[in-house]
Structure 1
């Protein structure tokens, strides 16, 4: 056993096996997963949030959620995509909770600030989009978030989630069709 509690033997173990062990309560397996994917998750969250400090907090919160919900993971071999989905949701929550950035000195009295009714509509649209995304199958939601929120190319998404670019195109097409259909009343 090494100083890290024996995790060096787990470093060569595949994600799916580690995720299954972690779901059964193996903290060492979860530690290896976190060490293996935290760099990517922080970069992903930073891209979504625009702040490394916010990204660190977001990933930490996401990993706490992931640890608690690991028994619910349906496809342990895709644990990284599952982590990414949790991070994307947490990042979305943080973005929605952010106060407006502009100071009062920068805003002209009748400038581009939305009227209360416009702000309410925008808030309702975001709530509806969140609901639609939550109801998408996880594979479609992950592909949609990586493309539409993070701006990944089809090939980047394919590499990230371990499928072909053709599969990514299909998932995105289905996700976009669902989002388009469900968001029709807001067009």
Structure 2
């Protein structure tokens, strides 16, 4: 089985493709349902998880790696790993966090390879029907502002922030992943948080 993640922009999808997705009974299924079905070997259920969470995984890994091209490869590798291991997932309801952990490990592996070779120190959530168009636009603008702020951070600060705030890593896990002391992690994270808070002041 091969899961292919293709970052397709909505405006370039054909009308026929859009209708097929909208009519798919699994398109509205909960993550837990899709994950449970995928664990039983349902390829289509896993493909729906890939459609649902692929965009966030791509943006997140691109910020970690600093490369859109590499992020596509990392997301593809993550879905292949996810498909092979999903039967081992203890809590199907937490499949998104589980996928984010996988893509984080894949991205960190790439960063380590870069260091070894080069010796050098880069979503929108589904909108609830009850939310007003104005609120949806505001949320998207806030997300854009966060990503723009992260883009202006030094790479080491950005990685610490993403691992802590998005992937939920502990200080020790970040230390192990980036191979830096915990004290350095705390310092980098503190500076990153101050900068992001300052940049987001207008949204308070």
TM-score normalized with structure 1 length: 0.56
Q: Take 1:32 and 1:83, find their aligned partners in 2: how far apart are those partners? A: 13
Partner SS for 1:74: coil
Aligned to 1:56: 72
Cα offset, 1:75, TM superposition:
1.0
- The answer to whether the aligner puts 1:38 opposite 2:54 as a matched pair is yes
TM-score normalized with structure 2 length: 0.51
Change in 2 beyond 3 A, CA 1:178/1:44: closer
The unaligned stretches of length 5 or more in structure 2 are 1-15, 121-156, 185-204
- From 107, 126, 131, the equivalent of 1:91 is 107
Which segments of structure 1 move beyond 6 Å, counting only runs of 4 or more?
Answer: 177-180
Cα offset, 1:10, TM superposition:
0.3
Aligned to 2:118: 100
Q: Take 2:28 and 2:44, find their aligned partners in 1: how far apart are those partners? A: 13
- From 171, 180, 186, the equivalent of 1:176 is 171
Cα offset, 1:100, TM superposition:
1.0
Partner SS for 1:11: helix
The alignment's C-alpha RMSD in Å is: 3.7
Change in 2 beyond 3 A, CA 1:33/1:96: same
The unaligned stretches of length 5 or more in structure 1 are 103-146, 162-167
Structure with bigger gyration radius: 1
- The answer to whether the aligner puts 1:23 opposite 2:39 as a matched pair is yes
**Contact (CA 8 Å) 1:49, 1:55: kept in 2 or not?**
yes
Aligned to 2:81: 65
Aligned to 1:149: 159
Paired residues, number = 125
Q: Take 2:77 and 2:174, find their aligned partners in 1: how far apart are those partners? A: 27
Q: Take 2:96 and 2:173, find their aligned partners in 1: how far apart are those partners? A: 24
Q: Take 2:87 and 2:27, find their aligned partners in 1: how far apart are those partners? A: 21
**Contact (CA 8 Å) 1:6, 1:28: kept in 2 or not?**
no
